[in-house]
Amino acid sequence: MNIIDLFSGCGGLSLGFELAGYNTLLGIDNDKAAINTFEKNHKGSIGITTDITEVSGEEIRSLVGGKSIDVVIGGPPCQGMSLAGPRKLHDPRNKLYLSFIRIVQELQPKAFVIENVPGLVSLFKGAIKDSILEEFQQMGYNVNYQILNSADYGVPQTRKRVFFVGLKNGDKFTFPEPKIFFENDWINAEEATCDLPLLEESLGNDIEHYTSDPQNEYQKYCRANSDVIYNHQATNHNEQTKKIISLVPEGGNYKDLPEQYRDTRKFNVAWTRYHSKKPSLTIDTGHRHHFHYKANRVPTVRENARFQSFPDNFIFYGNRTQQYRQVGNAVPPLLAKAIAEELLKYLS
């Protein structure tokens, strides 16, 4: 089955589909560094950096050489979802969502998959969610949605996202049940990353080496096609920052700090240290609020990629800030794989 990935970023969603046996034809995003990463990791796929509101279905067909497009996937940003009222979705500020809908209408794929933040479901008492369902149902798609926790699908991260899946053949998609991919119910932060250098004494090099053989099935998955480690360099924190981090216990945050440091950052996730025996929290795009469960630093790009379930042979390009953003914005590939495998049952 051929897919195209709109708002692709570096391509976590499409990678998950590829792990399930799909073929990615095209990725579109306005982030040049992310598209560079997309193209280098999705061999044989085309990556386009452009404003999606300017792209037509006809242009997409031309770009993929007339090949059939079976599934359209993507995570349109939800900025602008800020108006109540009878035609919520058609406010001009919602043009990114509207572009996804328009392209599906023009291409008429067998199915589509949208990923977004869970808050979309309840926003304005469900008005945006209802508008999305209505738009696609008018096009002839039977649409179902569900909020999924990535930790339930083998990802060492408690990241929740809503997925909308629409089918053209009249069937109603049933989401995959939580499944144990590996040996535990949930993979924890230590299991995900303990074979990577801790980088306590050095900041690391462009290429690093594993500190042990794979310790579990999850690490075997990550290392299946990789002999060395890329994107694993530590942030050079100042001494004050390292001192404050060192005072936070595993699983703790700013509330656990001595009083003189407690007000240095004032919000609920400030100075949060991951717990080694739990999955990571939802990783951010590099805001430096979450810290390694043991080392006194933020996780590296590679550690975040492990928390997202990217295999180690998926290399991130651009500067460090761009790499963190790419990883943080991505859909966890193993979560995408679970949805893609279930979707195949309806497409074959």
Q: Which residues are catalytic?
A: 78
CB atoms within 10 A of CB 240: 10
Beta strand pairing call for 142-149 and 160-167: antiparallel
Residue closest to 271 by CA, chosen among 289, 255, 288: 289
Whole-number Å distance between alpha carbons of 330 and 347: 25
Whole-number Å distance between alpha carbons of 193 and 171: 40
- What distances in angstroms separate CA 176 from CA 8, 158, 299, 301, 336, one per listed residue? 23, 17, 30, 29, 11
Which are the contacts of 20, defined by CB distance < 8 A and separation ≥ 6? 337, 340, 341, 344
- What distances in angstroms separate CA 313 from CA 227, 260, 302, 340, one per listed residue? 9, 43, 10, 21
Half-sphere exposure of 12 (CA within 13 A, CB side): 25
Residue closest to 83 by CA, chosen among 129, 123, 28, 138: 123
